Amino acid sequence: MNPTDLEQPGTAPHERSSGPSGGRRPRASADAERRKLEIARLRDVTRNLGAQIEQQVGKRPYLAIGAAAGIGFALGSVFGSRLGQVLLAVGLGYALKNALAGEIGVERIQAGLEKLTGEAGSG
């Protein structure tokens, strides 16, 4: 395993010091901290993704056109087939089910629909 700026050479992840006291942190805490750092790095990469794509398109326009055509061909082949359409329908259904059960909530949607139908009937 290559050392990173997060690791101290010669120590295992669960043996790193937790500040000036030099105490040991539980392994779960070190893993959670590592995941937070990975998420932060992923966020940084996604923030810069648009600028990176624009830069590459400017440097290599033919490669960008070829990549877009290849991705379009692959997606068209997959979603143009019956199997691809079934997988898309199942995936969208699963995503909608989770979205409706989460923050949005079915009750909010029903209340909104009732409000819309009540306003439409009185107007």
- Residue 89 CA to residue 100 CA, distance in Å, equals 16
State the residue for tokens 């995503």: 95
pTM of the model: 0.39
- Residue 52 CA to residue 5 CA, distance in Å, equals 25
pLDDT: which is higher, 13 or 76? 76
- Residue 80 CA to residue 60 CA, distance in Å, equals 30
For 25, counting Cβ atoms within 10 Å of its Cβ (0-12 exposed, 13-18 middle, 19+ buried), the class is middle
In this predicted model, what pLDDT tens digit does every residue of 67-106 receive, in sequence order? 999 999 998 888 888 988 898 889 888 888 877 776 666 6
Query: 3-state class of 16 per DSSP?
Result: coil
pLDDT tops 60 at residue 40: yes
7-16, 85-94, 110-119: the lowest-pLDDT one: 7-16
Which of 84-121 are b and which e, b meaning 16 or more Cβ less than 10 Å from the residue's Cβ? eeeeeeeeeeeeeeeeeeeeeeeeeeeeeeeeeeeeee
Q: Could you tell me the pLDDT band of residue 10, with boundaries at 50, 70 and 90?
A: low
